[in-house]
Structure 1
C-alpha cells in the first residue's frame, strides 16, 4: 500500500457520494455525515447496483474518517468501484493517475496466482544425507572386539574369606536405602492423591440440571435462539446461548440457581430455583410477545411487486399499529456494530418511518430489549439491524 493508494481511495469516496446523490436526497450531501436511515438506504442502493454490501462497521471505519490511514480489503474496493461506474479498483486508479504515477500489471493478481507464487517460493530444499555414519559404527564395533579378549585361564582366586567379610556390611546399606526410598514413594503417592481430590472436588460433587423451553401458547419447543444469564452473588453474570430446539444443561454444586431468560419474539423471564429439592429435569414455558412477532412478520413480509394500493394499505396499517403501541416519550435506541459510533437515539416518528420502509435490511432486524408501562404502552426499545458484508 502506498500514499497514492490512500489518495485514490479518497477520490473513490467522492465518486461514490456523487453516484448516490444522483438518485437520492440524504439528510446531508457529505457522506461522512450520514447515519442511521441514510446508511440503510445507501446499503440498499449498493446491493441493487453492485450486487454486494458493506456493514455499518466498515462504513464508519472508512467513510466517517477522512483521510483514512489504511485501505479496505480489495473486495470492498472493487465493490465501491463498480458502484461508482468502473470495472474494478485497478480500472478506477488507471483512469485517475497522478502525475508521474505508474501502475504495474501485477497489482491485479488474483488469489489463485498469489497462492501458486507462494508454493513456488516456499518449496523445500533437501539436504544430502551422511552415508558415513554406518561405516563409522562398523569400525567402532571391530575395534572393541579385540579389547574384549583376555586370558583368565591361569588366574587364581585368593583370600575369599576377606572378600566376603568386606561385602557383608556393604549389603546392609542397600536394605536401609530401600526402606527410605519406599517411604518417600508412599508419601509422594499420598500427596498426589490428595491433590487430585482437591482439584476435582467440584466435578465430583457437581450435579447437572436440564432445562427445556416451550411456547406457552403452542405447547411446542422454542425454535428460536435463547439467551440465558446465570446470576451469582459477587460475580459477573455468565451468558449462555442455546440453539433453537435444544435444552440448557448446567452443572453446579450451588444450592440456588438464578437465571434471566430472553429470546426473540418471547417475553423476558427471570427464574429462581432452590436446587436442594429441585428436579434434575424441568420444562419452562415462555410467553410469546405479540408485538415482536407482529414486527417480525411485517419486516419479513415481501410487499414489493404487489398491488400499489395494497402496499400503501399495509404501510398505513402498520404505522397506525405502531402509533397506538408506542408511547410519545419512548426511548428508542439503535445499536451498531461499529466501535466508532455504537448507539443512536431515534424519536418515535423516525422509528416508525424506519419500520414501515420496505427494505431488505429489515429482514435482519433484532429487538434486543423492550419495556412497557402498566398500561401496556411501549416506553423503551433497543434494537439492532444485523448486517453482513456477504449479504446480497
Structure 2
C-alpha cells in the first residue's frame, strides 16, 4: 500500500472517532456538514490540544481523491485524534494488520458474524426489557414570539440532550414530536434567525407551543437578501449599522466544490444589488459580537 492509501484509511479512522462522540452521524466525508466540521474542529482541539482549520478539512478530508499527501504534522494530529501516538505508529500498525488480514480473513469473518448475531440478540433483549412501554409523545409547534406565526422548518434545528449528547429531532409542518421520559426532557432550539432556547417538558406538561424570540439584526439581514429594494445607497447604510467591521462570511458552494470567503466590504457590495443568486442564498449560521453586530455568517448557495 502507498502512503496515500494509508491516508485514506486514516480519514476513515477520523470518521469513526467522530462517530464515537456523535453516534447519530452515519454518513461519510461527502455528507459531512458544516456543523459536523465545527464539531470536529472542537473535538480535535480538545483531545490533541492542537488546531485544524476549516479550509484544511475541505481541502484534504472532504476531497474524494487526494493527489498529494498532507504535511506530516497534520497527519500526526489526525493520528493522535484517532488513538495513535502519531502518523508513524498508524502506518506501522496498519501494515501489520494488512499482512495478518490475508492469513486469517476467513476465521475472522466467521467470528464477526457470530459476534454480531449475539450482539443483536443482546441489544434486542435489553431494549425489550428496558423499554416495555411506549413513551408518550409530546407535540410542540414552533412560533415567532412577536408575530405568533409558525416558523419554517428550514430556518430552525431542534435537539434533545441525552447523556450530554445532541440528538436531532425532525421538524414537520413547523412542529416537533418528542418522546417524553419520566424525568424532564430537555429540548434545544437553534436558528440563525432566532435566539437559542432550551425547554424542559415532561408527561404532565400541557405545553403545546415553543415561542422563539427573533434576532433583530439577523431578520434585517434576511430581509435585505430576499427583498427587491432598489435604493442601494440606503441599503448600504443600513448594512453598515448591523455588520461588524471584522465581519467574516463563508459561502458554501454547490456540488461540494468548497467555499468562498468575504469581508464586510466585499459582502456588502454583493448584497446592495438584489440579484437572484443573492435571493437564493440560505443563512446557516450567524454570530454576533459584544455590541450585537453580526461578526460571522455561514451561507449555503
| Deviation string, structure 1 residues 215-242 (Cα, Å, up to 9, x no partner) | 211223334543212222254x222341
Q: Return the alpha-carbon distance in structure 2 between the equivalents of residues 238 and 247 of structure 1.
A: 16
Tell me whether 1:323 sits opposite 2:240 in the alignment: yes
Tell me whether 1:257 sits opposite 2:174 in the alignment: no
TM-score by length of 2: 0.51
Is the 8 Å Cα contact of residues 182 and 202 (structure 2) preserved in structure 1?
yes
User: Residue 296 of structure 1 is aligned with which of 222, 227, 250?
Assistant: 222
User: Residue 355 of structure 1 is aligned with which of 258, 268, 271?
Assistant: 271
Count of paired positions:
177
User: Unpaired runs of 5+ in structure 1?
Assistant: 1-194, 304-310, 386-392
SS of residue paired to 1:268: coil
Q: 1:217 to 1:208 in 2, by over 3 A?
A: same
Tell me whether 1:333 sits opposite 2:250 in the alignment: yes
Q: 1:327 to 1:203 in 2, by over 3 A?
A: farther
What is the 5 A alignment of 1:191-206?
199=128, 201-202=130-131, 204=133, 206=135
Q: Return the alpha-carbon distance in structure 1 between the equivalents of residues 281 and 264 of structure 2.
A: 17
Q: Return the alpha-carbon distance in structure 2 between the equivalents of residues 299 and 330 of structure 1.
A: 17
Q: 1:272 to 1:217 in 2, by over 3 A?
A: closer
- Counterpart of 1:346? 262
SS of residue paired to 1:318: helix
Q: 1:300 to 1:203 in 2, by over 3 A?
A: farther
Offset at residue 337 of structure 1 (A):
3.5
Is the 8 Å Cα contact of residues 248 and 296 (structure 2) preserved in structure 1?
yes
Tell me whether 1:284 sits opposite 2:200 in the alignment: no
Tell me whether 1:273 sits opposite 2:200 in the alignment: yes
Q: Return the alpha-carbon distance in structure 2 between the equivalents of residues 382 and 198 of structure 1.
A: 40
User: Residue 169 of structure 2 is aligned with which of 240, 244, 247?
Assistant: 240
| Deviation string, structure 1 residues 66-108 (Cα, Å, up to 9, x no partner) | xxxxxxxxxxxxxxxxxxxxxxxxxxxxxxxxxxxxxxxxxxx
| Deviation string, structure 1 residues 120-162 (Cα, Å, up to 9, x no partner) | xxxxxxxxxxxxxxxxxxxxxxxxxxxxxxxxxxxxxxxxxxx
What is the 5 A alignment of 1:1-392?
199=128, 201-202=130-131, 204=133, 206-225=135-154, 226-233=156-163, 235=165, 237-244=166-173, 246-253=174-181, 255-263=183-191, 266-273=193-200, 275=202, 279=205, 281-302=207-228, 311=230, 314-341=231-258, 343-385=259-301
User: Unpaired runs of 5+ in structure 2?
Assistant: 1-123
Q: 1:357 to 1:203 in 2, by over 3 A?
A: farther
Choose 1 or 2 for highest CA Rg: 1
Q: 1:272 to 1:224 in 2, by over 3 A?
A: closer
Q: Return the alpha-carbon distance in structure 1 between the equivalents of residues 271 and 182 of structure 2.
A: 45
TM-score by length of 1: 0.40
Is the 8 Å Cα contact of residues 288 and 294 (structure 2) preserved in structure 1?
yes
